[in-house]
Structure 1
Amino acid sequence: MLSHLELITRLGMAALLGGAIGFERERLSWAAGLRTHMLVCVGSCLFMIVSAHGFMDVLEHEHVSLDPSRVAAQVVSGIGFLGAGSILLRGEIVRGLTTAASLWTVAAVGLATGGGLYVAAGSATVIILIILAGIKPLERWYFSSRQKREVMISAERGRLTLHVLEKEIGAATSRISTFIVQQQGDGSNLDDVLIAFSRMSENDFRILLDKLQRVPGVLKLDAKGPQERRGR
């Protein structure tokens, strides 16, 4: 049986490791934050301790054998109700999947701590924090660069405005992140219009280019990316 000091050490370490992961979720104002992750980790740790060491007196009887992993195994599936509660549906966008995954993973950290696998629990905590806090900026940069679409338009002077675009392409105007109009030269009757769209797939961008091609006053399109130059 574990000593009292070892028991307290495992539970305390579980609280610290779970709190480290929960703090990252707390700063982003998710419902499952610091206290939730700490409770999940400490609870999992206690389940592991009970599963591995809580039935020693029963094992002293003849012809009695127990599987110490049975109680701990229920944590893996049982934590799902908390994960489901952290997932939200906002319109057509599902939010909270990462937090649900972090709850499930922090339960594993608690189990490892309860089993005395301190190195595994500590290493997993560091890796989880890197995934949650370190990779997110890289992921955001990668997808924003992949989904940003730009088009250079040559149009008749003064014909292409935001009001005209809103009328011609509708809701797609909400994705415009940059709109720059510049006269091609002194006395020129043409404008160079640079438009950048954010969070747009390639297929949506192709459809949008077809709409822009039909806007009155547009003479030529030059889309940046896989699109080829178009003339009218």
Structure 2
Amino acid sequence: MEELFNLTYKDEVEILKDEPDFESLGDEKYLNHEDMEARLYWAFCRPNGSRAEQIADKNPLVSIMAFNHSKLSALKRFQLLHIDVIENENLRVKIRNRARMLFRSLVDDDFVELNKVLDLVPVYLPVAIDQLKNGRKWNDMIASEKEVTKFIQKAKEFLDEELLSALYIKLVNFEELDSSEIKELLENTIKIKVEIDEIILNYYKEQTYKWTQNSSLHILQKKGLEKLANKLI
């Protein structure tokens, strides 16, 4: 392998690709290489995505490259990302596309990881909001009232009708529930209402009244659900 040392790192890696244990050889050779350029190139071309220690590299450019080519979760990536990248707008722009894709996935999920990431990197709140409003929806996973409350508290100054509409979609869809399921939802929410934002409580109350108005339930059953809904506020 000594003859490789006079070649460029790209050429070195190309030759290593012929080895059956290519990735492990590359890790051994480049993960802790003294030359940043070597670590940078390996972060770019490591077959199974960059490793955690590459994102945690002491050089922000290596960290950026590894962040963009990693298969780790969004939370893990942001935990490992070089602090200079988070604090410097000129460096953050280099992970803009990957960050947008990660937040697209986060807002489609149950908001648990989303809130943890935003606690870590609040500078990305506008990206999360943009993805909620404008991003292409990939799934219908709902978020708990507590997790949506956490997000609302983070985004108070950005709340508008468009954002609220996007957040309501993350909550339980009353149109998919029967009367017993609505009753159970209301009872469970009442138990934890001190932990739930009033925006959600009011929304659930409004949705209950809307549901009863369009329901063929007996009037007494409707009144029972509405009475429960009134206890939310």
Work out which structure has the larger RCO, using CA pairs closer than 8 Å and 6 or more positions apart in sequence: 1
Give your verdict on TM over 0.5.
no
Larger Rg: 1
- What TM-score comes out, normalization by structure 2 length? 0.27
- Structure with bigger helix share is 2
- Structure with bigger strand share is 1
